[in-house]
Each structure stands twice: as structure tokens, then as C-alpha cells.
Amino acid sequence: MLHSGKRAAVLTVAGLLTAGTLAGCSGSINTDAVVATVGNEDITLGVANFYARMTQGQYETYYAGMMGMTGEDMWAQEVEEGKTYEQAVKESIMTELENLYIIAQHAADYEVSLTEDEQGAIREAATQFDERNSDETKEAVSGYRKDIEKYLELFTIQNKMESKMKEGVDEEVSDEEAAQKAMKYVYFSFSSTDDSGNTVDLTDEEKEALRDDAQTLADRVKDGEDMTEVAEEMGLTVNDLTFDEESTGPNEDLVAEVDGFTEEGETTGPIESDLGIYVGQLTSLLDRDATDQEKNNIVEERRQEQYDSLLEEWRDGVKIEVDEKAWDKIDFNETGVTIITPEAQDGSDLSGTDESEDTQEGSESEDGSSADGSAEE
């Protein structure tokens, strides 16, 4: 991941975080310097740098490759006028850090604290990182015990506070509020895939033939034939969909027309879009399973809204100051971070996506207690 001679590749592993070697050095920072204050509490540059580097590692290891970019290219791209991807992500990181400190400051209000097992798991995770990594690596990511322990304390408290902050919402949801209908539909695409896997647009003649097929399907189903049987006979695929009036996929016009039906079995005519044609049939005015799941979704939305509202209220009630000059010392372009799994350290393939969760899970003590380092993304 070296680029133009100045980009360092920090290799970190899952477990909580074990690092490999550092292929360069971006220069040391004063980890005790204050990068921000939340009320009367300081956020040190060491904690901020460690959190930022772990977040950076997730992006560079798992997202940059998916986007077909190097880390440098990814961070340099503009997400809006005058703002790079690096700046946007760093803004998010700082806000998340502030929130972690704010939540911890309210932990006593909910009688939340760290247990001895959790404290032990945090110390063990920090010790393992300290023992398994070079001084150069720890310098680059501020991977010192005090910074790692604070990082894990914050996330463990946030994890315990989340359920407390979400308690007490109204969990009653009526069928009417959560109602989900169901349909079957067939899609006639205006494109196909050639032998090389390339997408090819149909000719005007082929599109006209599709229109005829769509009309035939709609007519036969409206005359009482089973959509699935007719579709199979025509070599077509039938899709099942649960929806409500706010649904937009797979096609807004399709959903709107089927949602307007009052009797199960009613069928649309061909509904044409720029990319193809749909024929849909209402199969249920109230899909029980989907409706019950939507009730769960609504309750969870209420919980999240309460959590967000509390956090916003707390943010409004505390003074927050950020030393931008100190925060600018953390530069993603100068130092690159790659996450390496234990398997990859042993010579296995570094490719999986599950490892991204591992780096955020913290470590477990022998009795199973967890120092949860998961971030809210």
C-alpha cells in the first residue's frame, strides 16, 4: 500500500487488534494532547488517533478494493464541492467520538458501569495488542495501552447504554399501521446478457415481442389462469413481493397500481418502464408474516428515535470544542492502514469480509464476558 514513498502500511489483525509490521513512519504525535473537549472532559489525540486508524483500516481494507481504488485515491475523491472523502469520514469520526464521551457522562443516570470481568477483558485486549506489535506500529496508530483501554471502555459503556436509552417506548402497533400486502409479478427486461457476460440492449423488434408476451400473460391471468403456471409455460420467472403504499421497488408505478386493488387476484396490464415491463397480481391484502415483521420494525424505529432524541438533547446541553489544528495531524493520506486476519498472518488469504466485524468485537475474557469495541456505523 506504499505510494510515492511516503505512505505507511499499518497491518492490524482481528482479535481485538493485533498489528504486523510498519512499512514506513508518518511521524509521532503527542498522544496526550487535547484534540477536543466535551463538557469538562478532554479527548486526547491518542484516543482519537486510535479510533480514527481503526476506522480507516476498515475502509481501506474492505471498501477501497470494492470501489476499485487505492486508499489514497479513495480519500482524495470529492464527496461534495470542497470536501474530500477523508474530510467527510473524519467529521463523522469526531462526531461519533463526541457522542461516546457524552453517553459515558450519562452512564450513572442509568446505573451503568463496567463490571470487573469487562475491565479485565479490556486490559487483556490492550495487553495483547501491546505485546504483539512493534513500536513503529503502535506509534503510527497510537496503539498504547491507555488509549486502547479508553477506546474499549467507551464502546463497552455505549453498548450497555444503548438498550437502556431505548427502553420505555410504546410497543403496541396495530395491523392497520403495519399492514403489508403481497403480490406476484413478472418482469420482462429490455436487456439480456451475451456469452461474455456483457449486458446487451434488445432490438426494437425484440422489445415489441416482449410487449406482446406481457400482454398475453396479463390477459390469461385476468381470465382466471394461475400466474405461476402461465409464467412457467412461457419460460418466465415469477417474483413474490410484500409491500405497502410507501414501497418504491421494484417499480413505483407497479406498486401504486397493485396497492390500489381491493380484491385479491386482481391483475395489472403491462406496466412499462425505461428498462422493461411489469405485470403484477395482488395475492394478499394483509400478509400476516410480513405485517408482524413490520410491527417489529416500527417498534425498533421508535426505540432508535428515542435513542437519537436523547443523544441530541444531551449534545445540546454540553459545550463541545474541537482543536482543528490538532485534529489535522491525523492524515489518512500519509499513513495507510490495512487489517490482517490471524489466518492471513499465517499465510492464508486476506480477502474475507467477516473479519471486519472481528476487529470491532473486542476480546473475550475466559468466562465469556466481552469488551465490545463495535462502532455505530
Name the more confident of 334 and 175.
175
| CB count in 10 Å sphere of residue 65 | 13
Task: Decide: 258 and 265 in contact? Cβ < 8 Å.
Answer: no
Q: Which residue has the cell 477501497?
A: 64
Mean pLDDT of 335-345: 67
By 3-state DSSP, what share of the chain in percent is helix, strand and coil, each rounded to 5?
Answer: 45, 20, 35
- Local structure of residue 370 (DSSP, 8 states): B
Mean pLDDT of 199-222: 97
CA 160, 166, 172, 173: dihedral to nearest 10 degrees?
Answer: -110
- Percent of the chain predicted with pLDDT > 90: 70
Question: What strands, in cross-sheet order, belong to the sheet with 238-243?
Answer: 238-243, 181-189, 276-284, 271-272
Is this model's pTM higher than 0.85 or not? no
Strands 335-340 and 8-14: parallel
What is d(CA 217, CA 297) in angstroms, rounded to the nearest whole number? 35
Q: Which residue has the cell 461534495?
A: 80
Mean pLDDT of 128-156: 88
- Local structure of residue 28 (DSSP, 8 states): -
Q: Report the pLDDT value the prediction gives residue 243, as an integer from 0 to 100.
A: 98
Beta strands in the chain (DSSP E): 8-14, 17-22, 34-38, 41-44, 78-80, 83-84, 181-189, 191-193, 199-201, 238-243, 271-272, 276-284, 320-322, 335-340
Partners of 280 in the β-ladder: 185
Q: Which residue has the cell 486490559?
A: 123
Residues 6+ apart with CB under 8 A from 156: 114, 118, 122, 362, 370, 371, 372, 373
- What confidence tier does 345 reach under pLDDT thresholds 50, 70, 90? low
Integer CA distances (angstroms), 372 to 212, 260, 265, 316, 360, in order: 58, 47, 50, 27, 7
pLDDT tens digits along 77-87: 999 999 999 99
pLDDT tens digits along 247-285: 999 999 999 999 999 999 999 999 999 999 999 999 999
Q: Report the pLDDT value the prediction gives residue 133, as an integer from 0 to 100.
A: 76
pLDDT tens digits along 21-79: 333 344 578 999 999 999 999 999 999 999 999 899 889 888 888 888 888 999 999 99
Per the prediction, the chain carries an average pLDDT of 85
Integer CA distances (angstroms), 73 to 8, 58, 78, 93, 336, in order: 15, 16, 10, 20, 12
Residues in the chain: 377
Mean pLDDT of 304-328: 98
Residue 61 DSSP SS3: helix
